[in-house]
Chains A and B, each alone.
Chain A
């Protein structure tokens, strides 16, 4: 069975890059455009791992992660934060919200796949 990845990012460019990279690496990819949509599609998507941006309209990455962690079914799911914010403060906030790990942009396919494999069995 292919592993399912839910990506949450408001940038169409990044969404497409994630899609191409993940599909090429043999993942099934479900995409959402912001935190609100991410939480909406979560149940139906039933992902194995989540990759999310931080800066998004409506509901940002921090809020989204908190929302996922509140969901009993998905609270133990690995969540990777995809962001250019690499400073400790933001990383810490993401962790406090419940992020499993992070990937620092600029977007690099190898880094992404490595990090996903690191948190999924």
Chain B
């Protein structure tokens, strides 16, 4: 693993932390005062800062640092997380997300915005009142970044807060080269007397002295005067002290920094001896003969395994030990030995507790990270298995007419198992819609800011699971719908108050499972669809006739027409050339459907129904000119047997079918796909009424309906090549390949955009 891969992991982790941060802040916003929530929020920012620091992502570090400082105030109860405080924090979370994205993908952030938030966060940390609570002024009034004065660099803005945060940098780079330590280097006298705490914290006098020896030439003396007789000795106490004479050019600070970790747990005196005096003079001051410091003795048995209790002679020998090094390491060893037996019981209890914890932890839910490719391969294989199982069943049925044999029973069980395996495998790809819903919270905040409306987003059923691909493709249409709901759906606060509603509008996003599909509902409590306006607009745009008689529902659904927009003026949000028609198309591309229902004055509800997976599809198996095709069930509105009286000719080749007093173009699928040269007689076939891209209906002519079944989707592009008019292929139970019809392409072709039929369909079929 190299640094780039770790960086990739860092950004993945950032995404998770940002999600954690946002959901934590939202929980706080809802009145959650659990300290663990605050801690989790703090940790999220803290982790991002820690990782960013390692990659020298300075902008990210400085912003995270200011954010963290303010969160620390909340954590230590110095700052009450009021709604206004949280508003600043939620915006800061957005900026943090932007900074992360910029750090990963390049580009630039809105400097003015992050500088502004840094100021607000710092003000909060200093205990100043949060910014005014009233609805923010529309952003349009604020100067755009281009004309805004160049903001102070983020790092500079963060500086005042950095007081008290002085990283202790230490480096051994300057050390080494002790051979060069010459007589003329200043001499120091170091008296080092460890307390017993030094050992209980895992420090070792010998190691510290070894470190010290690297600074220069030194002589060392161990003072064992306070060592009591063996029977009175506390094996864990510290009895020795050391006096070291050292010559070094590194200075007193370097000497002290050796004992940095032990500062609190020892008595340390560093006295600069007169540099003019020779080594002889110093040794004379020592009450005892200096002992050469033997480094090799240390390395002999660095961390001797803790064995049985030492023999008495050995302990006695230890007492008589001449070198300070050996004595010191023995003291530590003995300390460990003696206490070991006494605490065996305690240890066992702790182990049992640990095991308990382990069980609880595993019950809490464990996850593993798996490459998506592997899952897809598995899904593909299970798809093959399903097909194979169906083929096997079919051939057994064909060869076993009485149908009661044990083979049949076994096959049924196999079918059951196969289904279960399929469901379980699909569940691996399933993920909660939570991340997408969380992203919507940000969208709502931003739109609310821009429009000057006050909006609350309520989400429900965030843990509803759906295929990852569906989730990925859901974000865009959902974002657009939320924008619409806030921009067009909700009224301005004054208007809402006048209508007897609360000033704050509510947008509700819910997800739930319903009969094998996921249903996502987006509702607002705004003004609802202005049907008069929609109708007028549709007439102006030649979508409907001026005297058309439309039901309320039909008028509501007009907003899904291409290029439809009821906004009087092009606001900041619309005017992007994206309308509800695009939303509808992307939902349909996912095999989904979208509906709207609206009540004037009470708001609108958009309901989307999507398949749980894109790997299987519910299809209607039909016959067209001897070929078997599968039509996605989601596209079909109804099926009907045309009556000769209902068929009307129109122009040279066009035909229309009249259904309940309206005309619908008839499309001969066999003709479009070039399966046959002449048009089939509609009366001999079946018409499938489908809803197409533009919202209009078409009647697709097929020869017969074979049935309805779930099919495993096999990509034609991956296995063969793209075929116009065909979306994908599948393998039926009898082993035959059936093509899945691309309804939109066929309908488009019927409108005079011929399919590119250079590729022979016969080869594919």
Contacts and interface: CB of A to CB of B under 8 A. Distances in A.
A101 interface: yes
B347 A87 contact: no
A106 B6 contact: no
Nearest to A109: B54
A45 interface: no
Interface in A39-71: 39-40, 43, 48, 55-57, 69-71
Contact of B6 (A17, A57, A95): A17
Given A13-B54, A107-B54, A118-B211, A75 B165 contact: no
A79 interface: yes
A72 B339 contact: yes
A13 B207 CA distance: 31
Interface string B8-45: 01101100000000000000000000000001101100
B1 A16 contact: yes
Query: How many B residues touch the partner, as a band?
Result: 35 or more
B49 interface: yes
A38 B350 CA distance: 14
A120 B302 contact: yes
Of A20, A114, A121, the most chain B CB neighbours within 10 A belong to: A121
Contact of B167 (A10, A20, A104, A114): A104
B72 to A, nearest CB: 10
B168 interface: yes
Given A10-B47, A73-B340, A16 B9 contact: yes
A119 B202 contact: yes
A71 B211 CA distance: 28
A15 to B, nearest CB: 9
A40 B54 contact: no
Given A11-B13, A72-B347, A86 B166 contact: yes
A47 B208 CA distance: 21
A37 B361 contact: yes
A78 B203 contact: yes
B42 A121 contact: no
Interface in B260-303: 260-261, 264, 298-299, 302-303
A74 B1 CA distance: 31
Given A72-B339, A76-B202, A78-B203, A36 B46 contact: no
Interface string A99-121: 11110111100110010001111
A12 interface: yes
A57 B43 contact: yes
Of A70, A76, A99, the most chain B CB neighbours within 10 A belong to: A76
Nearest to A19: B1
B54 A17 contact: yes
Contacts of B1: 16, 19-20
B358 A100 contact: no
A90 to B, nearest CB: 11
Given A119-B207, A120-B302, A55 B168 contact: no
Interface stretch (B169-177, B673-681, B725-733): B169-177
Contacts of B260: 101
Nearest to A106: B53
Interface string B307-347: 00000000000000000000000001001100110111011
A100 B49 contact: no
B377 interface: no
Interface of B: 1-3, 5-6, 9-10, 12-13, 39-40, 42-43, 46-47, 49-51, 53-54, 56, 61, 164-172, 199-204, 206-207, 211, 260-261, 264, 298-299, 302-303, 306, 332, 335-336, 339-340, 342-344, 346-347, 350-351, 354, 357-358, 361
23 contacts: A10-B47, A13-B47, A14-B47, A16-B9, A17-B6, A17-B54, A40-B354, A43-B351, A55-B43, A57-B40, A72-B343, A72-B344, A76-B202, A86-B165, A86-B166, A92-B264, A95-B264, A98-B202, A101-B261, A107-B50, A111-B169, A114-B172, A120-B207
- 4 nearest A-B residue pairs (beta carbon): A106-B53, A121-B302, A101-B261, A72-B343
Interface of A: 10-14, 16-17, 19-20, 36-37, 39-40, 43, 48, 55-57, 69-73, 75-79, 84, 86-87, 92, 95, 98-102, 104-107, 110-111, 114, 118-121
Given A106-B56, A118-B211, 20 more contacts: A10-B47, A11-B13, A16-B5, A16-B6, A17-B54, A20-B3, A70-B346, A71-B350, A72-B343, A76-B199, A76-B335, A86-B167, A87-B164, A98-B202, A101-B203, A104-B167, A104-B169, A107-B53, A114-B171, A121-B298
